[in-house]
Amino acid sequence: MPPAAPVKSSPARAEQIILFRISGQIFAVSSSSVQEVRSADSMAGLTVEITAPGLRKVHHVAQRGDKSLFVVNGSAHFGLAPSPGALIFVLRKTRTALLIDGIEKMASMTRLQALPRSFCHEERLWYRGLTALDQTVVPVVHPEGFLTSEELAMLDAALPPAGSAGEDAVEGSGPAQ
């Protein structure tokens, strides 16, 4: 019995992706989803601490205009070994700034295979799918998969009083290339 073709695939168009590393694990994200790349050091003085009970992956928030940007620790999000994190991806059209260890390289993805349905837990929110690059399989993250609406509500409830977060903390840096 031949299996049906993968549900989601884009065979023709290439998509630029950024391969990045968290705790030794390689992930990919569409470059069009990354608004800015900043060093963690440059963000350090521009964020304030936040504590949302039960949500250990977010410890800092930056204020950007009227929008709060939550810094998600990538290793905590994926359940990987803790790592210090050196870079931050500000993800476009989200309230997420993702703390990662480093960028591996840029690549071109010609086919995105849907996550097999055997994967049936949170990873379905985390990943857009999987792609094969240089005989390696890389999960392609979903920019909106780092914080659920419930988690955002928890974080909003835990926000410090207005004015204490770094105003426009992430303005002024260039877009990811």
Partner 1 sequence: MTVSAELDLQSFVLLRLGERRFAIAANQIAELVAPSRVFRFPHRTPKIEGVILRRGRIVPVCDVAETLTGKRLTARRFYLIAVRGYGTHNEWVALPVTGECELINAEMSATSASDAPHVAGWLSHDGDVIEVLNIDALTPGPEDNLAETAAIGAREARP
| Interacting residues toward partner 1 by CB under 8 A | 1-4, 6-7, 25, 27, 78-80, 113, 116-123, 126, 130, 132, 135-139
Closest CB 78 distance from partner 1, rounded Å: 4
Q: Please say whether the dihedral angle defined by the alpha carbons of residues 150, 154, 156 and 157, taken in this order, is positive or negative.
A: positive
Contact 129, 8 (CB under 8 A): yes
Q: Closer CB to partner 1, residue 18 or residue 69?
A: 18
Closest CB 162 distance from partner 1, rounded Å: 34
Residue with tokens 């964020």: 47
Q: Closer CB to partner 1, residue 129 or residue 166?
A: 129
Which structure tokens are listed for 171? 């303005």
Contacts of 128 (CB under 8 A, 6+ apart): 30, 112, 140, 141, 142
Which structure tokens are listed for 164? 């204490």
Closest CB 149 distance from partner 1, rounded Å: 16
Q: Closer CB to partner 1, residue 18 or residue 170?
A: 18
